[in-house]
Amino acid sequence: MHHNLSQNPQRAKPARRLLVLAISACLTPYAAHAQTSSPQRVEPIVVTGNPFERAIAGQPWSVLSGEELAQRQSGTLGETLNGLPGVSSSYFGPNSSRPIIRGLDSERIRVLENGASSVDAASLSFDHAVPIDPIAIERIEVLRGPAALLYGGAAVGGVVNAISNRIPKRAFKQPTFMLQTQFGGAERTAMGAVSANASFGQLSLHADASRRETEDLRVPTFTLPDGDTANRVVNSALEATSGAFGLSHMTANGYIGASFDSYRSKYGIVVEPDVTIDLKRDKFMLAGEQRVAGSLFNTWSGHFAHTRYQHQEIEGTGEVGTTFKNRGYEWRVEGKTMQYGPWRSVIGVSGDNTRFSAVGEEAFVPPTKSSNAALFAKQEGKFGDSLIAFGGRYERNRVSASDVLDEEGDSRFGPADSKRLNLASASFGLTQKLSNSFSLLSNLSYSERAPSYFERYADGVHVATAAYERGDRNLPKEKSTHFDVGFAYKQGPFAAQVTAFSSRHKNFVSLDFTGEFFKEESEAASAQKGGEHEGELPIYQFRAVPARFSGLEFESSLRVIDAPSSTLDLGLGIDLVRATNRASNEPLPRIAPTRITFNATYRAGPWKLRGEVVHAAKQTRIPLVEREENDAGDGTTGAYTMLNLSAAYDIRVGRLNGNVFVKATNLTNELGYNAASIRSVRELSPLPGRGIRAGLTFTF
């Protein structure tokens, strides 16, 4: 039986006590230090997830910016980040791909744009793209592991924050301009972008625009499920356009600004050769920061974002099959204390509200409303060689669904419904310097996540997954405990870091095959060929199961040449994750295999040459129900090794700074499949084949 926790005060009390204790702990140190201590300076390192703008105690993280980001840019956020330690992608073809962190995806990864949620329909279905074009982004920050303390249960797997300068936070001494273009690759990209920044007195302005076009993706020759062969991914072309304008007012103690940005794209659906998605997203955002000298809370910051999202799935005849809409807003306010002795604290409140609807023949979720309100506190202290961080979060979540009547007047998804949950999170992180060369990093956290609207209310044919999906409106909240520990070493030319992690989930929401089949005259059903259940769709159910995730991440670098005119660095990276349904002792689906990356980077003057070898092991840890033979295989993915080479040249002429690069990927044209993508698309869309891409960026 489902219990509404918001109406059960006895069960809600531990969550409230947790927050009260966290806030009390965050403020207590000031009573002792207010009269005797003076502020201490720390070197700032801006990292998402830490309001103190320095390295996060115990939290593994990665940053992409500059030349590295330009060379990794893809048409999707997931593929741009794929290959970072612990990060893979869902890869529904080249145009729709969400990041996967440590085996967790969808609702468990929080995707942000300039700190605000990306309101879209991407987590509902693998074929729905995240409406963020990486070309417009200056920096991407990735937190691996739970960040629910600041961002809620939706960040139980990690956070991806795409950062741009659309709301300027500083004054520009003189106007700056950026021009960027790329072309080539296995998808035949043609892309261009421009941006400009300028200040006029206390006003700072920003504007940018971009355009990207691709053709159908070229891949090594492969066998389709029906036995035919192909060397292109059918219906995988893309057109995307984005633009933005921002304005800020600067003062000696802060800024306040606003921006408006728009994103449009049209791309093909790999599993439906005659269907195109026409997507549009408009976003308005306010943000500001104010420093207050002599006050306990010496810095206040916040933002408000309102997003209107829509995409239509258009048939080959031009008829609109289904229209998906999501409207939402989000707000956040934080107050940071001044530093007394080793201590600093932050207390904040946040909230969001979204309205989702899907109308048409492929709608399998009713119209829903989701809202969330939260209060959080975090404390950080530096004691000699120790950096610690701890805190708590309390939030109230509500999801409601409307009643929808079919043509006969019957309820399509069941009666109208509303669920409320109280959620709590807590974390503790430690970074301990053990010697001049050796450091310990560890993090322990507890998180609670509310099931999403589609996990509760889905009921219908989901064409993208070629399945009939059923939700469970009585799903309990998902509880998880996470622990990771790592060691970092740096001595002379050698540096390395290894992190081991483990998490246990109670009521982990998993989409499992029921053993039943659904027969309906539809394109998805007719695509099922062969066997006893030809023309039928497997029925999948969202269920709460106990689960365990564990894995390892390793990074190292060695400088073998360190001359005044040139350097040579070697790097090695390894990451692996194992995920198990503890009830059945079977592997969970869509987990990336062990991956090993070796790279060598040579720099001489303005030149940079880089070689990279990426090896992915065979993935045989899949649920038994997914082991079904067809002409494309048995559901497992084979091992592959890919070779990538690049050359870049820096240009410096007066105020003009530029970079020109050429990058060759998968030089041996190796056939490979992404084990983290769903099988219905994996066997139609292998990884990209051989491609050569060139690009240049100029700023002046």
Extents of the domains making up the chain: 5-699
Q: Where are the beta strands (DSSP E) in 46-138?
A: 61-65, 87-89, 99-101, 109-113, 116-117
Token pair, residue 293, equals: 């000298």
Q: What is the pLDDT of residue 94?
A: 84
Q: Please give the pLDDT value at position 527.
A: 52
Note the pTM of the prediction, 2 decimals: 0.87
Strands annotated E in 606-639: 607-616
* Predicted local confidence at residue 11, as pLDDT: 38
- Give burial (CB, 10 Å; 0-12/13-18/19+) of 694: middle
pLDDT digits (tens, 9 = 90+) for 623-633: 887 788 888 88
pLDDT reported for residue 520: 64
CA 161 to chain centre: 7
What pLDDT is attached to residue 524?
52
Tokens at residue 184, please?
């080539």
Exposed/middle/buried for residue 563 (C-beta within 10 Å: 0-12, 13-18, 19+)? exposed
- pLDDT tens by residue, 562-607: 999 999 999 999 999 999 999 999 999 889 999 999 999 999 999 9
Phi, psi of 135 (to 5 degrees): -65, -25
Task: With cut-offs at 50, 70 and 90, classify the pLDDT of residue 28.
Answer: very low
Mean pLDDT across 167-173? 92
> Contact 87/142 with Cβ under 8 angstroms?
yes
Q: Which two tokens stand for residue 98?
A: 């969400």
Pair 86, 101: CB distance under 8 Å: yes
Among the listed residues 577, 586, 557, the one whose alpha carbon sits nearest the alpha carbon of residue 569: 557
Phi-psi region of 236 (alpha: psi -120 to 50; beta: other; left: phi over 0): alpha
Kindly tell me the sign of the dihedral angle through the C-alpha atoms of 41, 46, 49, 51: positive
Of the pLDDT bands very low, low, confident and very high (cuts 50, 70, 90), residue 512 is confident
What's the token pair of residue 679?
Answer: 């099988």
- pLDDT above 70: percentage of residues in the chain: 90
Which pair of tokens denotes residue 264?
């449009």
For the record, the structure tokens of 614 come out as 């990426």
Find, among 109, 172, 115, 221, the residue nearest to 671 by Cα: 221
Residues β-bridged to residue 442: 430, 485
pLDDT at 8 over 50: no
Q: What is the pLDDT of residue 56?
A: 64
Query: Taking 90 as the threshold, does the pLDDT of residue 67 lie above it?
Result: no
% of the chain residues with pLDDT over 90:
59
Class of the CATH domain delimited by 5-699: mainly beta
Q: Note the pLDDT tens digit of each residue in 368-412.
A: 999 999 999 999 898 999 999 899 999 999 999 999 877 777 888
Alpha-helical (H) ranges within 326-445 are none
Tokens coding 296? 């306990």
pLDDT in tens, 207-251: 999 999 999 999 999 999 889 999 999 999 999 999 999 999 999
Q: Please say whether the dihedral angle defined by the alpha carbons of residues 672, 678, 680 and 684, taken in this order, is positive or negative.
A: negative
Question: Which residues are registered as beta bridge partners of 693?
Answer: 184, 663
> For residue 683, is pLDDT > 60?
yes
- pLDDT score recorded for residue 13: 45
Q: Among 56-60, 142-146, 366-370, 642-646, whose mean pLDDT is lowest? A: 56-60
Contacts of 339 (CB under 8 A, 6+ apart): 39, 40
Q: Is 95 helix (H, G, I), strand (E, B) or coil?
A: coil
Give the separation between CA 583 and CA 126, rounded to whole angstroms: 26
* Mean of pLDDT values over 643-660: 93
Mean pLDDT, rounded, for 87-111 = 89
pLDDT, one tens digit per residue, over 320-338 is 888 999 999 999 999 998 8
Q: How confident is the model at residue 265 (pLDDT cuts 50, 70, 90)?
A: very high
User: For the chain, what is the radius of gyration of the CA atoms?
Assistant: 25
Measure CA 373 to chain center: 22
Q: Can you give the three-state secondary structure of 255-321, one letter per residue?
A: EEEEEEEEEEEEEEECCEEEEEEEEEEEEEEEEEEEECCCCCEEEEEEEEEEEEEEEEEECCCCCEE
User: Which pLDDT score, from 0 to 100, does residue 611 have?
Assistant: 97
Block residue for tokens 């009666």: 415
| Residues sharing a CB contact under 8 Å with residue 23, sequence separation 6 or more, in sequence order | 347, 377, 392
**What residues contact residue 583 under an 8 Å CB cut-off, 6+ apart?**
545, 546
47 HSE (CA, 13 A, CB side): 20
Backbone angles phi, psi at 621, to 5 degrees: -85, 85
Flag the least confident range among 64-78, 587-601, 671-685: 64-78
- DSSP letter (8 states) at residue 106: G
Which strand (E) or helix (H) includes residue 76?
Answer: none
DSSP states of 373-399 as a string? EEEEEEEEEEETTEEEEEEEEEEEEEE
Using pLDDT thresholds of 50, 70 and 90, give the confidence band for residue 69.
confident
Residues in Cβ contact with 581 at an 8 Å cutoff, skipping those fewer than 6 apart: 510, 545, 546, 547, 587, 588, 623
DSSP type of residue 364 = -
Task: State how far the Cα of 81 lies from the Cα of 607, in Å rounded to an integer.
Answer: 24
Helix (H, G, I), strand (E, B) or coil at 615: strand
Q: What is the mean pLDDT of the chain?
A: 86
3-state SS, residue 467: strand
Nearest to 64 by CA among 82, 43, 52, 90: 82
Instruction: Please report which confidence band the pLDDT of residue 7 belongs to, taking 50, 70 and 90 as the band edges.
Output: very low
Ramachandran class of 217: left when φ > 0, alpha when ψ lies in -120 to 50, beta otherwise: beta
- How many whole angstroms from its chain centre is CA 640? 25
Instruction: Please check the confidence at residue 42 and state whether its pLDDT lies above 50.
Output: no
Position 30 pLDDT exceeds 60: no
The dihedral built from the CA positions of residue 222, 223, 224 and 228, taken in this order, carries a sign that is positive
Distance CA 371, CA 374 (A): 10
- Torsion on CA atoms 573, 158, 242, 279, rounded to nearest 10: 110
Rounded distance, CA 115 to CA 46, Å?
13
Is a pLDDT exceeding 60 seen at residue 6?
Answer: no
Confidence at residue 9, expressed as pLDDT on a 0 to 100 scale: 37
